[in-house]
Amino acid sequence: MIANVWSLLKLLMFQGLFTSPPQDPGFDFFYLTLQWPGAYCDTKRSCCYPTTGKPTADFGIHGLWPNYNNGSYPSNCDPNNEFDPSEISDLVSTLQKKWPTLSCPSNEGYKFWEHEWEKHGTCSESVMDQHGYFEKTLALRDRINLLQILTDAGIEPNDEFYELKDIKNAIEEGFGFTPVIHCNRDPEKNRQLHEIFFCVDTSATEFINCPRPRDGCPSHIQFAKF
Ligand SMILES: *[C@@H]1O[C@H](CO)[C@@H](O)[C@H](O)[C@H]1NC(C)=O
């Protein structure tokens, strides 16, 4: 009798007849991080093009990172949920174009995607599985025509220097949300535009304003050629 009542309850819950409270995803928001390949390669360490050849001169995906509002982030949340290349075989050709690796030695990209899934993706497994993680990240990236927005504002990857505030204003006007910008250093120690972070809600579908918009750049930065 008790067992029957219990299985009926489970059935009703499964059918959504009971509304369960929204599940805490275990983090507060995502960073969608895009990287400029010209800045990745223009360092002392340099870079290696993937086995598929030189990536197109466009912002590539670095990752989709669960974050806390306090500035820290969870990582490597589920060692039992290892990266499985067979789960994303339908996405590989798109990943190679939009999420290209630049690490050495030259490789196809699986190591990069494995690292991103295991370090960051496993911390969002309450929201999506491995296939969903890569698919949603690609879809988010497709909604920002970042290079076009910058180029339209006269900000081009030509080794010239630009004002950080002009870059941020152009993106805010062209896209609607203000990004967070990180810089690295070229071998001559010039600070250059390296990564652009956008904030996304915990369902990985809507862009939001970043809770802690803190840039890692001086006011005057280089936009490297690629
Ligand atoms: C930030 O928030 C998370 C989740 O609430 C917590 O686990 C972590 O300890 C906090 N970290 C810091 C540095 O306050």
Joined together, the tokens standing for residue 133 give 């993680």
Is 13 part of any domain?
no
Q: pLDDT tens per residue, the chain (226 residues)?
A: 455 555 655 554 555 555 555 678 999 999 999 999 999 999 989 999 999 999 999 999 999 999 999 999 999 999 999 999 999 999 999 999 999 999 999 999 999 999 999 999 999 999 999 999 999 999 999 999 999 999 999 999 999 999 999 999 999 999 999 999 999 999 999 999 999 999 999 999 999 999 987 889 999 999 999 9
Is 3 part of any domain?
no
pLDDT of residue 23: 75
Residues paired with residue 199 on neighbouring β-strands, in sequence order: 31, 208
Listed in sequence order, the DSSP H helices in 60-163 are 92-98, 110-119, 130-142, 146-152
Question: How many residues comprise the chain?
Answer: 226
Question: 69 CA distance to ligand 1 centroid (A)?
Answer: 8
**Dist. CA 102–CA 108, nearest whole Å:** 10
- Other C-beta atoms closer than 10 Å to the C-beta of 146 total 19
Is 98 part of any domain?
yes
**Dist. CA 145–CA 34, nearest whole Å:** 11
Atom 11, ligand 1: which residue's CA is nearest?
72
Which helix H or strand E contains 197, and what residues bound it? strand 191-200
Atom 13, ligand 1: which residue's CA is nearest?
72
Is 16 part of any domain?
no
- Residues annotated catalytic, as ranges: 62, 116, 120
User: Longest Cα pair distance anywhere in the chain, in angstroms?
Assistant: 77
72 lines ligand 1 (CB under 6 A): yes
Q: Which domain holds residue 55?
A: 27-222
Joined together, the tokens standing for residue 17 give 């007849």
pLDDT of residue 212: 80
Is 6 part of any domain?
no
Is 212 part of any domain?
yes
Joined together, the tokens standing for residue 129 give 């599985």
Where residue 42 sits, what CATH number does that domain have? 3.90.730.10
73 lines ligand 1 (CB under 6 A): no
pTM above 0.85, yes or no: yes
86 lines ligand 1 (CB under 6 A): no
Is 8 part of any domain?
no
Helices (H) and strands (E) counted in the chain, each on its own, are: 7, 7
Number of domains in the chain: 1
pLDDT of residue 214: 85
- Other C-beta atoms closer than 10 Å to the C-beta of 136 total 20
Is 208 part of any domain?
yes
Q: How far apart are the first and last CA of the chain?
A: 70
Question: 22 CA distance to ligand 1 centroid (A)?
Answer: 21
